Amino acid sequence: DSGVTQTPKHLITATGQRVTLRCSPRSGDLSVYWYQQSLDQGLQFLIQYYNGEERAKGNILERFSAQQFPDLHSELNLSSLELGDSALYFCASSVPSGRKETQYFGPGTRLLVL
């Protein structure tokens, strides 16, 4: 168990809908990262938040948005969903530690868009 929790575990929805994925980082971790893992695209970094502020942006679509709240939990909002958004969405958290930053991944949310 990495200490990172994600809810829900599974999500089935229809095209055009909007969903919110939630992530609670490990206690004390200030950074939260979101990743998308799909069969055809592999693992892709979406976005990073550090202590409530956006720190880095990866391949995140404009239909997707995220935020990190004062209690450090984070939400990833996916809107106008398309079939191709079906994937595993992982959250990870970390505290920078010297020259090595260790990320701890949550168990993921499996999203299926029908």
Partner 1 sequence: QQQVKQSPQSLIVQKGGIPIINCAYENTAFDYFPWYQQFPGKGPALLIAIRPDVSEKKEGRFTISFNKSAKQFSLHIMDSQPGDSATYFCAAFSGGYQKVTFGTGTKLQVIP
The answer to whether residue 55 forms part of the interface with partner 1 (CB under 8 A) is yes
Q: What is the spatial distance between Cα 39 and Cα 23, in angstroms, rounded to a whole number? A: 22
The answer to whether residue 64 forms part of the interface with partner 1 (CB under 8 A) is no
Report phi then psi at 31, rounded to 5. Answer: -100, 140
Q: What part of residues 1-40 is at the interface with partner 1 (CB under 8 A)? A: 2, 4, 33
Cβ 15 to partner 1 shortest distance, Å: 26
R_g (Cα) of the chain, nearest Å? 13
Among 8, 17, 51, 56, binds partner 1 (CB under 8 A): 56
Q: What is the spatial distance between Cα 13 and Cα 36, in angstroms, rounded to a whole number? A: 17
Q: Which is nearer to partner 1, 78 or 108 (CB)?
A: 108
Q: By rule CB under 8 A, what string of x and - marks binding of each residue 70-109 to partner 1?
A: --------------------x-x------xxxxxxxxxx-
Among 3, 16, 43, 83, binds partner 1 (CB under 8 A): 43
Q: What is the spatial distance between Cα 39 and Cα 2, in angstroms, rounded to a whole number? A: 24
Q: Which is nearer to partner 1, 14 or 28 (CB)?
A: 28
